[in-house]
Structure 1
Amino acid sequence: MKNLICICGFAIFSTIGSAQQKPNIVFIVADDMGWADIGYHNSEIRSPNLDKLAKTGVELDYHYVQPQCTPTRVALMTGQYPTRISAKNAQAHNEETYPIGTQIMPHMFKDMGYTTAIMGKWHMGCLEQWGPKHHGFDYSYGSYAGAVGMYDHRYTLTKKPYSITWHRNHELVEEEGHVTDLVRKEAVEYIHKNKDKPFFLYLPFHAVHVPLVEKDPKWNEMNKHIQWDDRRLMASAVSHLDDAVGQVVQALDDAGIRENTVIIFTSDNGAWRIHKGDIYPAPDPALSRFSFNHPMRGWKIDIYEGGMRVPAFVNWPAKLKPYKLKTPMHVIDWMPTLADLLDYKGEDKYNWEGVDMWKSIESQYEVDDKREFYFVWGENRTWEGLRYGDWKIVRKKNNGVYSKWELFNLENDPYEAQNLASSESLKLNDLVLRFDKQKQNDKL
Structure 2
Amino acid sequence: MSVACPMSRVAGAAYGIVEALEVDTVPSWFPVGFCLLTQDEQQYVAYYNEQHQMVVARRSVDGRKWQKVTLPSKIGWDSHNYVTMAVDSAGYIHLSGNMHCVPLIYFRTEKPGDITTFQRHPMTGREEQRCTYPRFLNDAEGNLLFTYRSGGSGNGRRFYNIYDVATKTWTRFLRTPLFEGEGQRNAYPRGPLKGPDGLFHVVWVWRDTPDCATNHHLSYARSPDLKHWETAAGKPVHLPLTLGQSELCVDPIPSGGGIINGCESLTFDSDHRPIISYHKLDENGHMQIYVTRFEDGQWRGHPITSWEKNITFSGRGAMPFIGIRVSGLRRVEPDMFCITYKHRDYGSGRIIVDEKTLRPVERDVTVPSEYPRELTRPTIAFEGISVRLAHDAGSPKDADTKYVLRWETLGAHYDRPRRPPLPPPSVLELVKLQRE
Structure with the bigger percentage of strand: 2
Q: Determine which structure has more spread, i.e. the larger CA radius of gyration.
A: 2
TM-score, length of structure 2 as denominator length: 0.29
Structure with the bigger percentage of helix: 1
